[in-house]
Structures are given as C-alpha cells and as structure tokens.
Amino acid sequence: MIEQTIEKRMDVSRQLEKEMSQLRNLREVLSRSGQVATNVSSILDSFEHRLARLETTILPLYQQTGNLQRRQLNTEKTLQELDYVISFYNVAGQVEAVVKERPSSIGVPQYLEAMNRLAETCKFFEQNNPQSVEIENVTSLFEIGTDLLSKEFRDELKKYQKPVPPIVTLELLEEEEVSEDTISGVELMPPGVREDLRAIATWLDKHNNTDRLTVYAKLRSDALSQSLKALRDFQRSSSIERGGAPGSLNSPGPLRARVAKLDSTSKSRTQKISNRANRMLQKAITGHVSSRRQGSPGNASYSLHGSLTPPHATTPGTVGEEGLEDSDVELYLNQVTALHRLAFAELLLSQQLVPEDRVTRTFELILRDPMDQLVAEGEGLASQARRSVGRGDHQAVLSVLAMLRHVTNMQPEYDRLLTNCQTSIRSKFAAIINMLQETCVRALEGFVESVKSDGERALPKDGTVHEVTSNALIFTEQLLEYAVTLSPMLQRDPILSASLSNLPRGIDLSLTAKALLGAYIKRVLVNLGLALVSRSEAYSDATLKAIFRLNNYNYILKTLHSSELLNLVALVEPQCDKLYNDQIMEQKRLYSQSWSRVLHYLVNHEDVPLSVIQAGKLRDKERQLVKDKFAGFNKEMEEMSKVQRSYSIPDRELRESLKRDNMEYILPKYQAFYDKYVNVAFTKNTEKYIKYSPADVSNMVDKFFDVAA
C-alpha cells in the first residue's frame, strides 16, 4: 500500500516537472512573439510615413497631368466642332453643280444624297446662325433642288402616263378571279422608274412637299380615264372595221403596232378574248327574242298574226329620237369591270410610290373622276332606257337589267377594293345600283300599266292573238333570267311580298326570287286578262269575240307551259293552269253557239212525222217545210263557212282541235237529217236543196280558218 502511494507521488512529481518545462518553453515563445510584433509595428509605422511623403510628392503632379489631358480633349472636340461647322459653309459649293442638274442625268440616289446634305445644312444654319449670309445661298439652292425633284417626279409620271393597251385590259376582263399576282402583271411603269419615283416621293414627303401627292393623283387619274377611253374606242372601232352591225361589238382589229406583229395564233386569242367580253350582253338581250317572233316556244307551227313590236323597234313618232343601243350597254358592262381591274393596278402602284399613311387618300383622288364618269355614263344609259320605255319600248329595261346584274355581281369586288376609302367614294358605286334599280322599278310598273293601255289598240279583224299578248309574254319570259336581280326590287312592293306568305319558311333565296317574279308575272297576266276581256267587247260578232279570247288564252297557256313561267306563277297561284284551261273551255263553249243558226234547221220541233215520210205522201206544206230546212241550212252553212274561213287560229293544234269539235258537233246531226230526207221526194229540183252531202259539210268545216291560217 505504502509502495503504491510512493509510486503515485513519484508519477505526480514527474508530471509536474514535465508541465513546468512546457511552461518555460511557452514563456520563451511568447517573449519572441512580442519581439516580432514590436518589430512589425515599427516597420509599418515606417512604411506609412514613407507613403505619406510619397503622396505629398506625387499628387500635385497627377492633378496637373489630368488637367492637361482634359485640355487636350477639349481642344480636340473644339477642332472637330470647328471642322463640322466649317463643312456646312462648304456644302453649297460642293453640291451646287449636282443640284442644278436634272436628277435623272446624274442618278436619283446621288442627287438625293446631295439634297440631304443641303437639308442638313439648312437646318444647321436655322438653328445656330439664322442671320448668316450663307443661309440664303443654301436655302435658295435647296429650293432649286426641291423644285427639280418635283419636276422630275411630275415629268417621269407624265412620261409613263400612257393608257393601258386595250388588249391587256381585255385580258384582265377574261380573268374569272383577280388577285394581286394577276394585276401586278399590268406594267404601268418600269421597275427602275418605280424605284426612282419611290425614292423621290419618300424624300419629298419627308420634307413636307405635299403638293406632290396631288400631282401624282391627278396624273394617274387621267391615265386611268385614258385607259378606259382607249378600251371603249378600241371596241367601237373594231366593230366598224369588221363590219359589225349596230347594236353589237365584234372582235377587235389589230390597232396597235405590237398586235400587228403577232402571229395568227395570237390574233385568234385576241379575238377570243374580245368576243368573250362582248358576249356579256348578247345572251341577256337577244336570247329569247327570235324564237318568240316566229311562234310559240316549243311549237314551230305556231305563227302569230298581226305585227309584233320587236325589242328596240322604232315606232311611229320616234324616228330621230335617241334610243338605248345594246352596244352602248355592252361597252358599259366592260367599263365597270375594266375600272375595277385598272383601279386595282393603280392601288398597287400607289402602295409602292406613296407613303403608307397617305395611300388611301391618294387612291381616293385617283378614283374620283373615273368613278364620276362611270356614274354619269350609267345615268345616261338609264335615262335613255327611261325614254325608250316612255315610248313604249319596254324591252329596253332588259338592257338595264343586264347592267344591274353585272354591276351587282361586281359590287363585292368593289367593296373589297374600296374598303378603306371614304363613304363618299364607296357610295358612288352604290349610287349606280340604286339608280339602275329605280329605273327598273319604274319600267316594271310602267309595263303593267302599258298592258292595260295597249289593250286599247286596234283589234285584229281575224281574232288572232293580240299584239299586247305576244309582247307581254315575250317580255315576261325574258325576265326569267333576271329573277335574282329583280328580287330586291320586287320585295319593295308590299302586295308582291305578301303573296309569299303561303310559301314554306326557310326556303332558299333563289326560290324566293322566283316566287316574287311569279307574283309579278301573275300581276301582268291579271291585267292582260282584264285588258283582253274589256277590249274584246268591241267585237260586234260574238263568235269572233270568243275566237279572239280563245286564241289569246291558248297562246298564254302554251307559252306558260313551254317556258318556266308556269312554274313561277304556280308558286303563288297553284290554280293558274286550271284557270286558263277553264277559260279556254268556256270560250270553246261560247264559240259552239255559233252553230245555233245552223242547228235551227236540223233540230226543230216543226218536223215531218216519220210515218208520213215512210208513206211517201207529203203534203205541200210538209214539202215546203223540208225545202225551207235544206235552203236555210245551205244558206247558213255557206255564210258560216265564208265568215269562219276569215277567222284566224294560228295555233295548229288548237285549230285542228276546234275543227274536230265542230265535226263531232254538227256532222252527226246533219247525217241524221240528211239520211232522213235524202230519199224523200219533196222536190223535183233535188240538187237545188240537197247541195251538200255529209262529206261535203265535213270538207267545208275542215276549211274553216284556212284563209287566215
């Protein structure tokens, strides 16, 4: 135990000795560190002192150097500004020779570069030295250059202010759909010229030269008008050169040097283009007239009697009066389309030469005069049509309808073209449509009234179809082609619109248009029927009155059947066919009463008894009775044959039908009468009384209506 204690004390002593040794070492290290810190502090103090001495020495020198550098920079800037200012004093002399030349002679880009230098010089002097003498020289030279640029712009425009060749315009008319690519093929001026003009236009606009746009619009407007006039003159002269008849335009002749050099294939194509444009009116005006003049549609045997008034015929008292020519209408249709095509080309050109924000206004100025001219021409044609209608030539309205249909079809294209234009420009085209519609409305109303008044014309002596009937049916049949065009005008009439109340709801516009036209045709037919009935009362012969009405009703019904007229009228009057058939049957019945005087001798209560005839013992009174019967029959039959041979039934089918009815009506009765007395000895002079056998009577009836037929 004691040993362990001693051992522990020895360990503690050794440990203590070790710790004491480490403590002495630590104190030595600490002493050395303090010495190092003292040395470093001394060094830093010395360095700081030296830096302070250096700053005191260098800082004034640095500041002096900075001042010198700033002075050098200011001097350089001053020299640059002096060079800049001095350069403006030299501009006039440097560019004077260029500015006083024509821009095209030295090149537009080079000229504009010189003008830009002048513009900058003017601005400099105005802002910095407005009292300088040099500003007068620069301003004067700038004005000279501006005037020369304006003159160059105007001269170049005039140089290419040429009408578009008519052949090119006709090619545009041939296009069914017109796009920007199609129109861009019309070269109003060469690309190089367009680039120069665009550069000049941009420069002038930048320097507030607005007069340039007015000049541009005026020159291009004149060019557009000249192009339209060239097309009109071209088609007119082509018609004359090729011996075209009045009222039609034939294909153009080679009126240009370029066209003269084309081969036969190109000439053929040119003729095809022009012919296609010229066909726009022909179908509308002449499509139905020739066949209607010859007879009833679908029946070559139908030959009308009496003089029919052909379209645009010269009536008494109209010689020398201005009428509406088909050729003028056709030219107008071409002008409407050509103006759109050429105006489109002008719009594309304006977009290239005019600043974007002024394109629309400039385009309006270009279109103003040509549009006014188009409106004026339309008004002139409409006035001619009204005068023609006033003279009784209602066929003239067909020309107006052809114009109206074409203008209406062109309206969407014009609307797209004039989208951004003012209402005053867009309304011009709408005014043409309104004017033509008003002309048509008046003409249609006037036609209904004319049907009433024309019924007062002299009645045909032979009872044939009245002129007013044939003219009315010709006219209404030609309206079929314009059902859709007429629809907006007919809808204005409340009575016609009310007639559609029985139609199913939701029907398409085409059927509505046909129904409206059917209602108008019904109105014409009603007034025609009233006129025929009223006028036929002037016949003193009841039989001739029946023949007259029968001819007219039959003609109306057959015409309705042979065309689409009946289908249209049936939309608003389903019983139309039955009504006319009933009227025809009634007139046949009234006509059959003409046999009453003949039948009076064949069917009579005072007759010889059969027993007496069989016995062969006729008394004088009875023999005289038989003589009177035969004599009266012969007289009435001869008179009737003479009269009815002068009656006219131009329709072969009706004529043969009426003859057949006559035979079926009279021959059985006469056969019985003939058989009863032919072998009776009532006279010694048999041939005097029994002049006609049943076969002879049949032949006589078969010759009814033959003289006129």
**Statement: 606-702 belongs to CATH 3.40.50.720:** no
Q: Answer yes or no: are the C-beta atoms of 391 and 331 closer than 8 Å.
A: no
Q: What three-state secondary structure class fits 466?
A: coil
**Residues of the chain predicted below pLDDT 50:** 245-274, 276-321, 708-709
When computed from its CA atoms, the radius of gyration of the chain, rounded to whole angstroms, is 54
Q: Are residues 173 and 338 in contact, defined by beta-carbon separation less than 8 angstroms?
A: yes
Looking at 573-619, list the stretches that DSSP marks H as alpha helix, in order from N- to C-terminal side. Answer: 576-592, 596-602, 610-615
Please choose, from the candidates 601, 594, 709, 587, the residue with its C-alpha nearest in 3D space to the C-alpha of residue 662: 594
Q: For residues 203 and 355, what is the distance between their CA atoms, to the nearest angstrom?
A: 10
Q: pLDDT value at position 392?
A: 82
DSSP state of 55: H
H or E element, residue 546:
helix 542-562
- Residue found under tokens 């056709």: 330
CA angle 147/152/155 to nearest 5° reads 120
Nearest Cα residue to 569 out of 533, 531, 534, 528: 528
Q: How far is CA 573 from CA 483, 552, 577, in A?
A: 17, 20, 9
pLDDT digits (tens, 9 = 90+) for 478-505: 999 999 999 999 999 999 988 888 787 7
What is the model's pTM? 0.72
Among 540, 485, 474, CA closest to 510 = 485
> Would you tell me how many other CB atoms lie within 10 Å of the CB of residue 93?
10
Within 10 angstroms of residue 82's Cβ, the number of other Cβ atoms is 10
Place of tokens 């009174």: 621
- Burial class for 236, CB neighbours closer than 10 Å (0-12, 13-18, 19+): middle
Q: What is the pLDDT of residues 21-44, one digit of tens each?
A: 999 899 889 988 889 888 888 898
User: What torsion do the CA atoms of 110, 111, 113, 119 make, to the nearest 10 degrees?
Assistant: 170
Domain ranges of the chain: 2-84, 165-189+209-289+322-420, 606-702
3-state secondary structure labels for all residues of 387-424: HHHHCCCCCHHHHHHHHHHHHHHHHHHHHHHCCCCCHH
Q: Considering the chain, what is the average pLDDT of its residues? A: 81
DSSP 126-194: HHH-TT-SHHHHHHHHHHHHHHHHHHHHHHHHHHT--PPPHHHHHHHHH-SS--HHHHTTS-SS-HHHH
Beta carbons within 10 angstroms of residue 618's beta carbon: 18
Residue 75 three-state SS: helix
Which one, of 439, 365, 384, lies nearest residue 407 by Cα? 439
Q: Measure the CA–CA gap between 167 and 231, rounded to whole angstroms.
A: 8
Write down the CATH superfamily of domain 165-189+209-289+322-420: Exocyst complex component Exo70 (1.20.1280.170)
| Residue 75: CB atoms within 10 Å | 10
Predicted local distance difference test score (pLDDT) of residue 611: 61
Retrieve residue 560's tokens: 């309705």
Q: Dihedral through CA 141, CA 147, CA 153, CA 156, nearest 10?
A: -100
Q: Decide whether 165-189+209-289+322-420 matches 606-702 in CATH topology.
A: yes
Q: Which two tokens stand for residue 401?
A: 């309808």
Q: What is the pLDDT of residue 96?
A: 80
* Predicted local distance difference test score (pLDDT) of residue 262: 29
What is the structure's pLDDT at 322? Answer: 56
What's the rounded Cα separation, in Å, for the pair 635 and 692? Answer: 11
Output b/e per residue, 108-139; b: 16+ Cβ within 10 A.
beebbebbebbbebbebbeeeeeeeebbebbb
What the block records as the tokens of 665 is 């009506």
